Amino acid sequence: MSDSRLCPLVRKELNAYFDSPAAYIISVVFLLITGYFFAQPLFLRNQADIGSFTDLAPLLLTFFVPAITMRHFSEEYKSGTIEILMTLPVRDRDILLSKFLASGALLAATLAFTAVYPVSVALLGKADLGAVAGAYAGLWLSGMLLVSAGLFGSTLSRNQVVAFIIAFLIGFSLFLLGKVGAFVPVWLTPYTEFLGLDAHLANLSRGVVDTRDLMYYATGSAFSCSCPRFGCG
């Protein structure tokens, strides 16, 4: 399909986000929580870095991303509009891609508002711009991995709450896998570290761009996106 047909699909999804209060509410809650945890060490301990934000953000993303993806297919099933969408001359993968890209855009917009944190740090002290850029890239890529899991969850049920819970369980499992290294047999540690979000995000937050990390995000997103079967078949 030409891009000219993907554009209207993406635009529809973006309009659905920005015309509804839900996306604003979810984004504002995300910004309030991250803002609180960023400002606390800044004012209480005079410590100017974005570590407190980047440490907390992955856990918050496991809630935030399912909240923005849960409606995608569940709502189409519930309202019956999936029948309209799937009888248009577009491929299934383009429908999926449009929802993936729109969620990615909302995630990027929300993360863009948090840029005020590194800007504050740069004004108050010295910020490592490479590490900051790496951390944001890592957060966005982690978010996109969770978006693909969220879309997968959304294809499984016409109930948005069920879709949210499925996506959250997948995302939280990935989050936990990065934390359990100390509690599993030594031979298992490299696997849990590789599958978890933490290690990859830590590398990027240090400004290290490793192709293994990029492959992790790319293959994870592609795998989740290849699972959905959202038609009635």
Partner 1 sequence: MIRAENLVRKYGDTVAVDGISFDISPREAVGVLGPNGAGKTTTLRVLAGFLHPTSGRVGIGELDVLENPLECRRQIGYLPENNPLYEDMEVSEYLEWVARTRGLSSEACRSAIQNTVGRCGLAAVVGKSIGELSKGYRQRVGLAAAIIHDPPILLLDEPTSGLDPNQALEVRGLIAELKREKTVLLSSHILSEVRASCDRVIIIHRGKIAAQGRPEELAASASRGDRLNLVVRRGAGDLEEVRRALAGLPGVASLSMEAQDGEARFVIMGNPSAEDMRPMIYELAVAKKWPVLELYREAASLEEIFRSLTA
Can you give the binding site for partner 1, defined by CB under 8 A?
A: 1-2, 4-5, 7-9, 11-12, 15-16, 19-20, 79-81, 83-84, 86-91, 231-233
Q: What is the CA radius of gyration of the chain?
A: 18
| DSSP conformational letter for 197 | S
Q: Please state the separation of Cα 224 from the chain's center in Å.
A: 13
Least distance (Å) from partner 1 to the CB of residue 105? Answer: 17
Least distance (Å) from partner 1 to the CB of residue 225? Answer: 20
Interacting residues of 228 by C-beta distance below 8 A, sequence separation 6+: 73, 96, 151, 152, 155
Least distance (Å) from partner 1 to the CB of residue 25? Answer: 16
Least distance (Å) from partner 1 to the CB of residue 23? Answer: 12
CB burial class (10 A; 0-12, 13-18, 19+) of residue 230?
buried
Q: Which is nearer to partner 1, 82 or 202 (CB)?
A: 82
Q: Which is nearer to partner 1, 10 or 57 (CB)?
A: 10
For 140-193, what is the HEC assignment? HHHHHHHHHHHHHHHHHCCCHHHHHHHHHHHHHHHHHHCCHHHHCCHHHHHHHH
Q: Which is nearer to partner 1, 13 or 198 (CB)?
A: 13
CB atoms within 10 A of CB 109: 14
CB of 133 within 8 A of CB of 173? no
CB burial class (10 A; 0-12, 13-18, 19+) of residue 190?
exposed
Q: Which is nearer to partner 1, 79 or 219 (CB)?
A: 79
Q: Which is nearer to partner 1, 79 or 159 (CB)?
A: 79
Q: Which is nearer to partner 1, 20 or 219 (CB)?
A: 20
Least distance (Å) from partner 1 to the CB of residue 36? Answer: 32
Least distance (Å) from partner 1 to the CB of residue 157? Answer: 18
